[in-house]
Structure 1
Amino acid sequence: MLETVAAATILGLLAAILSQRVSPLVALILAPVLGCLAIGAGAHMPAYMIAGITRIAPVAGMFVFAILFFGLLGDAGVLKPLVSGVLRAVGKDPKRITVGTALLALIIHLDGSGAVCFLITIPALRPLYDELGMDRRVLACTASMAAGVNFLPWTGPTIRAGSALKLPVSAIFTPMIGVQVVGLGFVFAVAWWLGLREQRRLGLTPARASGPVDPVPLPRFFWINTLLALIVVGVMVSGKVEPVVVFMIGTALVLLLNFPAPTIQRERIESHAGAALQMVGVLMAAGVFTGIMNESGMIKAIASAAAGHMPAALGPHLPPVVAVLSMPLSLIFDPDSFYFGVLPVLAEVAAHFGLPPVQVAQAALLGQMTTGFPVSPLTPATFLVAGLSGVELAAHQRFAIPWLFAATLVMTAAALVLGVFSL
């Protein structure tokens, strides 16, 4: 009963969002509410919702002030010279721009934070895409791919996999270095192809696409603003201070420096209030969804049911099967539920067929909340990448999911060829 309602709730949520019949905010709130009522836990529902909102509140606060911070820097003209500099470096060639997008996202995501990656990469490059009329879905997809093909030892999924199965992360990651290299090669190849397709769509010839770009004069307080931005990003990446605190202080300093008059400060804040309010609303709704699904036991129930109904014939081939399914499973399970709930069960099943648990962990990392996290409705990063890119969530998912799933399939093939696990 519990697992059936859980599955229906998740499938209903995905269908509602992808069909665009209702907004993500409505779907994220009403789908779990109906599921909770269906299992007879209506009396506990308010507590479940508050628990989820409490966990998401710091993230929501970070996103609100991050939007204000980067938006105000844009209002102060700080991004224009930076965009001009990037344009001079890559010209107006969409192929080079998309490859540069992937490279920038990959470098920034080395700290393992998808939120930080998107907060820095997308606002910096979106004006460039708009300048040329490039499809913003390409920006969202390219940044998502580069961030997704990243399961370094200090990233969340790898740490969870090692903790859940009592394995050192080096034992999981080291044999997969070659697989990750292949995955990154695929990302840059796709980025180049998407850029080529945009170049053809826009009718840019190679000569026009690489034309010179005039430099933009530096605005007032450019270097002070740039230094402030670097300090804010550096402190945030260091992890020594909560991101919401960093962005709150940074926002206040940007306002005081560039817009000292209180009336202008209110005007600038109001100009970005719509985007901030929309983002925090969706994030709070996502907190409601995860709170109800986790606190009611629905996620745990569907995890046990999925593992328990696995056909015995799949046992000897479990690692490649898990690898292929890992990315789609990100749409159903949040990282904690999968890695601490499902993965140990799968490892136990694999052990019955003489397969080491490390192979199941490696297979899961090829997609479960790696390539899957930028499109999963269970992660705030999905709403962040869509919101910052200025595209509808459903449009981002429809565009990016095939490419992200393809990255998982390519890495799965590489894992088989390189002998990480066998078919």
Structure 2
Amino acid sequence: MLVALGFTMVALFMVLIMTKRLTPVVALILVPLCFAVLAGSGTGIGDAVMDQIGTFAPTAALLFFAIVYFGLMIDVGLFDPLIRLILRVCGNSPVRVVIGSAVLAALVSLDGDGSTTFIITVSAMLPLYLRLKLSPVVLTVVANLAAGVMNIIPWGGPTVRAATALGVSPSELFNPMVPSMLAGLVTVVLMAWALGVSEKRRLARQGLELGLELDVDTVQTVETRELVTAGGPARPRSGGGSGGAGGTDGADDGMTRGALDPDRPTLRPKLIWFNGALTVALLVLLGMDVLPLPFLFMVAAAVALLVNFPRPVEQVARIKEHSSSIVSVVSMVFAAAVLTAVLSQTTMDVAMAKWLVDVVPDAWGPHLAVITGVLSMPLTFFLSNDGFYFGVLPILSQAAAEYGISGVEMARASIVGQPVHFTSPLVPAMLLLISLAKVDLADHHRKVIWRAVVLSLVMLVAAVATGVIPLG
């Protein structure tokens, strides 16, 4: 009963979001509550939700102050040189722009924090996407895929969880998986290339439909030249359609508005070295993990506000400027607490996991490592990493031990599903990504989920081919 209710709840939730019948916040709250009633949960569900909200509060605080901090750094012009460099490197080519987005996201992901990765990637690339009329959905897709592959680095979280759950060394787990990770990154670049080609063709078709005599490369060459030489965004052409999706046309919030405008009043060129040093120090401390991440962002945001905007009225104005992004992502984080609470309070998550383990035939026992790699995709999408690695993986590993499959091999198999996990609405960083880019969750999921599945399968095949995960 619980298994059926659990899978039905998740399916209904996804259908309602992807068909845009409900907003993600509404669906995350109401759909799980309806199924909690069907599962027989009483008033205890309220306490469970409050407990989850308390658990999610540090994440919400992290995202709140991360948006404020990096929004301020965009306002004061810290990323302007980086964006202009990307413009010069990518030029007028949609293909190079999309591939550059994927490479940038992968490089920034080395700090192990998905939220930081998406904030920097979106802030650097979204103005260029909007001016060249590329779909922001493409940006969120390639950034999500690249970050998902890089999420298996030892300091990223899943690898440490898997190693801890099965009592193995993180380095012994991760180091043999480097070829698999590289195969995943190559696949991300190929997917980015294909998406870039698709965008170029779409823009060319739109140009023909508008009766334009210039081809897409010529049009974008002109716009890119304006961007680079003026040091700021080209003015939108009258009558030009935007390639955005899910309400991204003319996206103009505080994270992207005039991100390269050389005349914006918030620029602080004399403080660029201070702001750069502050940001580097923040990222170093994030990587060292010596202090809680929300606390680091709180302090950094306060210092940045005080130094760059010493007047209280200016500080209030800066926070208000980024309030729409803050409200959007924080509300989804707290709404996701309802779904997580219902899954755990009703024990649907445990029932679903055990059912998936039980349906594996005994004859498939020698292949449990590969099966675990496949199961890690849906299970880490529907469950938290903690739930999967500390609840499900030990059960699978105990069964696999009977067939001579070691714990470290099972641990390696368990992390190949991270590209799919990173697309889950239970991942706050992904919610931050689509919020900053003003992309609809349904539009993002339609393009990213199947690609993430392919990506995870590529990583699994590469791991099997190199012998770090046994086929049987």
TM-score by length of 1: 0.91
> 2:458 corresponds to which residue?
410
- Distance (whole Å) between structure 1 residues aligned to residue 317 and residue 340 of structure 2: 35
How far apart, in 2, do the equivalents of 1:184 and 1:209 lie?
Answer: 29
Distance 1:241 1:170 in 2: 23
Unmatched 5+ stretches in structure 2: 205-215, 232-261
Q: 2:144: which partner in 1?
A: 144
Given the superposition, is the C-alpha separation of residues 77 and 170 from structure 1 closer, same or farther in structure 2, using an over 3 Å criterion?
A: closer
| Structure 2: distance between partners of 1:92 and 1:279 | 32
1:302: Cα distance to partner?
A: 1.9
The correspondence of residues 16-415 of structure 1 with structure 2, limited to 5 A, is 16-150=16-150, 151-203=152-204, 204-205=216-217, 209=221, 212=225, 213-214=228-229, 216=231, 219-220=267-268, 221-223=270-272, 224-367=274-417, 370-415=418-463
- Larger mean Cα displacement after TM superposition, 387-396 or 171-180: 171-180
Structure 1 residues 170 and 75, CA gap change in structure 2 (3 angstroms): closer
Cα distance in 2 for partners of 1:172, 1:74 equals 38
Question: What is the distance in 2 between the residues matched to 1:75 and 1:38?
Answer: 49
Is the 8 Å Cα contact of residues 183 and 407 (structure 1) preserved in structure 2?
yes
Counterparts in 2 of 1:162 and 1:249: CA distance versus 1, 3 Å? closer
| Cα offset, 1:55, TM superposition | 0.8
Q: 1:286 offset after TM fit, Å?
A: 1.0
**1:198 CA drift (Å):** 2.2
Aligned equivalents of 2:167, 2:291: Cα separation in 1: 29
CA distance in 2, matches of 1:406, 1:346: 23
Q: 1:94–1:209: 8 Å Cα contact kept in structure 2? A: no
SS at match of 1:214: helix
**Are residues 89 and 36 of structure 1, via their aligned partners in 2, closer, same or farther at CA, if it must alter by over 3 Å?**
same
Partner of residue 11, structure 1: 11
1:401 counterpart letter in structure 2:
I
Counterparts of 1:330 and 1:18, CA distance in 2? 19
Letter in 1 for 2:76: A
Letter in 2 for 1:183: G
Measure how far apart 1:298 and its partner are.
2.5
Structure 1: distance between partners of 2:65 and 2:149: 28
- Whether the 8 Å CA contact 1:52–1:292 is kept in 2: the answer is no
Cα 1:250–1:175 change in 2 (3 A) is: closer
Q: Please state whether the residue corresponding to 1:87 is helix, strand or coil.
A: helix
Worse overlay, 215-224 or 156-165? 215-224
Greater shift in the superposed pair: 273-282 or 262-271: 262-271
Give the Cα–Cα distance (whole angstroms) in 1 for the partners of residues 84 and 271 of structure 2.
Answer: 14
Cα deviations by residue, 1:63-93 (Å, 9 ceiling, x for unpaired) = 1222222223333344444322321233232
- Distance in 2 between the 1:124 and 1:142 partners? 14
Give, in whole Å, the separation in 2 of the partners of 1:146 and 1:339: 22
Q: Partner amino acid for 2:69?
A: F
Cα distance in 1 between the residues matched to 2:141 and 2:385: 21
RMSD: 2.5
Deviations 1:325-346 (A, max 9, x none): 4323322222111111111221
Paired positions, count: 421
